[in-house]
Structure 1
Amino acid sequence: MYSTGADLREARVTMDTQPEYVQVGLRKVATEQGFTEGKYRIEFESGSNKGDGFMGTMSKVFIRQEDRKELVLLVKDMPENLARRQQSIVMFDREAVAYSSVIPALEKFQSDKGISVDEGGEGFMRVPRCYYTHSNMEKLEAVVIMEDLREKHFRMWNKYVPVDYEHTRMLLEQLGKLHAISFAMREQQPERFFAFKRLIDPMKIMIEMDPDKGIDKLFGDVYQRAIVTLDDAKDAKVKELMKKLEDKVTKHYVDCVTVDDSDPYAVIGHGDCWINNMMYMYEEESPVPVDIRLIDWQLCRYVSPILDLSYFIFICTDAKLRAQHYNQLLDIYYSSLCDYLERLGGDAKRQFPREAYEAQWKKYGRFGLIMGMLVVPMICTAAEDLPDMDKWIEKMKQGDEDVEFEYATEEKAAKLYRARMSGVIRDVARFVYLTD
C-alpha cells in the first residue's frame, strides 16, 4: 500500500551544471554544517521519479568529506523549461517564504508555550528540516534545500490506492494542531499573525496574471471530463447539482480561496493536501503509521481550514471509507484542534465553535471536488503514462485551443478515474456542498 518513495535514476548531474544560486546554497549549507572548504565534495543524483513533482525538479545531493559522516539532502529547483519557470515561480517563492518565515514563526510560538517541537515532540512540526531557501521572482530563481526524509525511513503512500483510515486519522490530527496555532496566534499575537494575511493563494495570483485564460480553459476541460463519469439515469439529480459549476469552476475556486467570507476563522493552511505531499514512518512491517511529515508547501496560504480537509478527504480517500467514517473523520480533526488550542491557551468553544466549523464545511466543502477534477486524474495515471509537462505548458502559454489535460487516458487509469471521480461528485452532493 505504500512505496519507498522515488527510485533513483542512474543519470547524474554535477555541481558545475547547476545554476549559480543552487551552488551558492549548497556551499552555504556545507559551511554551516561543519564541512571544511576544499576538503568536501558534492555529488548529485536524481531525487524523484517522473510525476513525483508537478512543478519542479528534485535532486538528491550528498555532501561528503573523508573524515566525517556525509550529509544527504534534497534540492528542489525550478524546472529548466522557461514557460514552466514562468508558470511556477509564484509557487516556488511561496514555498521559500513558508520554510524561511511561516514555519519558523509557528515553531517559535509553540516553543514559547513550553511545547516541544523537536522530532517526536508533542507540538506540530511535522515538516522536513529546511537548510536553505532562495527566491528571486524577477530572475525566475528559486530553490529549497532540505533533508531527505527517506534517510529516516519515511515513505510515500502508493497514490493509486485510496488512503485508509489510520493514515487519514494521523493527517487530520496533525492538521488540527497546525490550524489550532493560527487561532491561538490570532488572539494572542494579532500583529504577528495578521502579517500572514499576505499569503494570498498562489493559484489565485496565477489566475489573475493569466491574460490568455489558460487556467480557466483547464478548469473547463476537467469539468467536462468529470461530469461524464456520472450515470445519466442513476445520477440525474447529482448531475443537475454538478451543473452549478459549469463554466464557473474558476470562479468557485477563487471564491473558496478568498478569505473575506472565512474570517474570523481563516488559518495558515498547508494548501496542497494530497497524498504525494506527505510521507509516513512505520515500525518494522506494521501497516499502521507512527509519524508523518507534510512536504511541498508551495500552496501555503491564509484561507478557511476546511480547504485542507476537503482537499484530502475527497481526493485521497474513496467512497467506501467516507461512507463508513466521514463524520468520525470530521470529529477527529475538530477534537485535535480543540485539545491543542486549549494547550496553547485558547478556547475553541469561543474561537471556533462547532456550529462555525459546520457552517464552514457548508460554505467550502465543495473545494475537494474543485481540486479533485484536477488532481484525481494525476492520482490515477501511472508514471510511465504521464504527459510531457514542458510541451503541455508551452501549448498552454501559446493559447493552443487543442491542448488537453492528458491524464488517466489509458484504459486501466480511465476506469479507475471514473470510479474515483464519480464517487467524489456523489459525496460532495450528498453532503449538500454543491451550492450556488
Structure 2
Amino acid sequence: MPGQVKPPLREVLEKITKEQEYDSYVVREKDGDGSNIMSSLSHVTLHAKGKTDMKLFAKSAAWSAKIRVTNPVNCPYSVELYFYETLWKQYEKLEDTFSVPKEHRFRKPKLFGCGYEYLNETLVLEDMVAEGYKEYDRQTSVDYEYMSTGIMLMAQFHALSLAYSKYNPEAFKRASEYLTMDESKLEKWIASVAPKMLSTAISCAEEHRDTLKNYFHPSKKFNRLFMDYFRKGNDNVLIHGDFKPSNILHRRRNGKLELVVVDFQLVHDANAVVDLMFFIFTATDESFRRAHFHELLHLYYEKLRASLLRLHIDPDQVYPEKTYRARLEEFSMLGLAIGVGLLPVVLMDKDKMPDFHENAGIDDFAVEGSPLFKERFNGILNNYVEWGLL
C-alpha cells in the first residue's frame, strides 16, 4: 500500500503513477534468494479503472553510511543512476545512428523514474518478470546455450563502450573518470580482507591445497592479482562488473532463449576479459569448463567483432585480436582470483548473507565458504592444474 512505502520511493512512484496516467499503486517486497546484497527490491503494480495493470520493479538503496565511507567502488546506486541517465542514452544513440537490428541490440530493463536522495537512492524499472523472464538459480551451473547467449550480450555491451570511445572520446573520458575505482581504497580493502579470503580458500582446497598455498606465497601475490578485477583498464571498455547468472534474466520465446541483463551498479572502466572471466568462473562448473573454456574465449572475440562491425567500426583498429590474446595471457590467473575472492559471496547460503542495511562493513564481503563453494573451488583448482597454469 502507498502508506507503507518509505517516503523516497513513495515520491518516485507517485510521480510515475501520474505520468503514466494511472490512479494508484501497490508495492510488494520481493522474496530474497540471497542474490542481491546491495538493494531492497520490490514489485510494483499500477492500477487504473479500465486499464491493464502496469508492472514495475523498484530498487532502493540498502547500504549504510558506514559501509559507503570505506567502500572502494563508487556508490553503486550513483553508478546505476549514471548508467541509465547518462551512459545508456549515448549507447542508444549509437544503436539508432547505425540502425543496429533489434535482435542485435543490448537488452536491459527500461527506466521509468528515479530518486537521488543520499542513503535512499531509488530506481523504478520495467518488471522483466512480468514480461515472462525468470531468474536463474545462482547455485546451478549454466548450459552451453545460456553461456553462449550471455557472451553475445557481453560482447554487445563492450562494443558499445568501444564505439562510444571512438565517436565521442571526450565524453567517454568523462565517463571513464567517473566510473574508475579508487585504487588507494581498493588496496586498503583488499589488504584487510585478503587474509580471510585466502584462509577460506586454502581450508576448502583438497587435492591441490599445497599447490595453492605455494602459488600464493607470499600472500601479497593474491592482493595484486585480485586488484586486477577492479583496476582501470587500458582498452576503452566499461565493463558490467557483476556479470553473473543472477543478474541475467531468461525466457524462451518461439523456441529461442532470450536473455536480458540487469543490475548496473558495478559498471566501471576495466579490461574486457574481466567480465568474461567473471561470467565463466561464477556460472559454470569444472566439467563445463573442461569441455568449453577455450571455445568460449574464441566465441567472445567472434561476437565482439560482429558487434563492432554493426557499429561501423573496424575491430582491428579499436581492439585487434592480438590485443585480446595479450589480455587473455595477462589475466590468465584471474579465474583463480575470482574463485578465492568473489565466488564465496556468489555461492554463499541465503541465511549467511551479511545485512548491509545497518552495521556491516566492507570486510563482511569476506565470507565463509559454503559446501557448494568448496566443490566449485576445487573444480577451479583442477582446471588450472590441467591447463598447466597452476
Query: Match of 1:394?
Result: 359
Q: In the alignment, is the contact (CA less than 8 A) between 1:306 and 1:361 conserved in 2?
A: yes
Query: Match of 2:293?
Result: 326
Q: Which deviations, in whole Å up to 9, do the C-alpha atoms of 1:43-67 show, x marking residues without a partner?
A: 1111231413111110111111112
Quick one: higher RCO (CA 8 Å, sep 6+), 1 or 2?
Answer: 2
Q: 2:340 aligns with which of 361, 367, 373?
A: 373
Are 1:196 and 2:175 counterparts?
yes
Name the SS for the 1:290 alignment partner.
strand
Summarize the alignment of residues 219-298 of structure 1 with structure 2, pairs less than 5 Å apart.
219-231=194-206, 234=208, 236-243=210-217, 246-259=219-232, 262-263=233-234, 265-283=235-253, 290-298=257-265
Q: In the alignment, is the contact (CA less than 8 A) between 1:42 and 1:61 conserved in 2?
A: yes
Residue 338 (structure 1) shift = 0.6
Name the SS for the 2:258 alignment partner.
strand
Query: Match of 2:380?
Result: 424
Summarize the alignment of residues 331-350 of structure 1 with structure 2, pairs less than 5 Å apart.
331-350=298-317
Name the SS for the 1:345 alignment partner.
coil
Provide the C-alpha distance between the structure 1 equivalents of 2:78 and 2:297, rounded to a whole number of angstroms.
32
Name the SS for the 2:192 alignment partner.
helix
Q: Percent identity?
A: 20
Name the SS for the 1:325 alignment partner.
helix
TM-score (norm 1): 0.80
Query: Match of 1:359?
Result: 326
Name the SS for the 1:63 alignment partner.
strand
Are 1:16 and 2:3 counterparts?
yes
* Structure 1 unpaired stretches of 5+: 1-13
Summarize the alignment of residues 404-415 of structure 1 with structure 2, pairs less than 5 Å apart.
405-408=366-369, 413-414=370-371
Provide the C-alpha distance between the structure 2 equivalents of 1:114 and 1:339, rounded to a whole number of angstroms.
14
Query: Match of 1:177?
Result: 156
* Structure 2 unpaired stretches of 5+: none
Q: Which deviations, in whole Å up to 9, do the C-alpha atoms of 1:360-391 show, x marking residues without a partner?
A: 112224333333334422443443x3244259
Provide the C-alpha distance between the structure 2 equivalents of 1:377 and 1:92, rounded to a whole number of angstroms.
23
Q: Which amino acid aligns with 1:257?
A: F
Task: Rate the CA distance shift 1:256–1:61 in 2: closer, same or farther, 3 A.
Answer: closer
Name the SS for the 2:158 alignment partner.
helix
Are 1:95 and 2:80 counterparts?
yes
Q: Which deviations, in whole Å up to 9, do the C-alpha atoms of 1:333-352 show, x marking residues without a partner?
A: 11111112112111112322
Are 1:127 and 2:108 counterparts?
yes
Task: Rate the CA distance shift 1:182–1:129 in 2: closer, same or farther, 3 A.
Answer: same
Query: Match of 1:155?
Result: 134
Stretch moving more, 249-258 or 89-98: 249-258
Provide the C-alpha distance between the structure 1 equivalents of 2:16 and 2:70, rounded to a whole number of angstroms.
28
Residue 96 (structure 1) shift = 0.9
Summarize the alignment of residues 62-141 of structure 1 with structure 2, pairs less than 5 Å apart.
62-79=45-62, 83=66, 90-116=75-101, 121-136=102-117, 139-141=118-120
RMSD (CA atoms): 2.9
Q: Which amino acid aligns with 2:2?
A: M
Name the SS for the 2:46 alignment partner.
strand
Task: Rate the CA distance shift 1:319–1:190 in 2: closer, same or farther, 3 A.
Answer: same
Q: 2:17 aligns with which of 6, 16, 30?
A: 30
TM-score (norm 2): 0.89
Q: In the alignment, is the contact (CA less than 8 A) between 1:306 and 1:365 conserved in 2?
A: no
Provide the C-alpha distance between the structure 2 equivalents of 1:180 and 1:258, rounded to a whole number of angstroms.
20
Provide the C-alpha distance between the structure 1 equivalents of 2:341 and 2:252, rounded to a whole number of angstroms.
30
Provide the C-alpha distance between the structure 2 equivalents of 1:57 and 1:394, rounded to a whole number of angstroms.
16
Residue 219 (structure 1) shift = 3.0
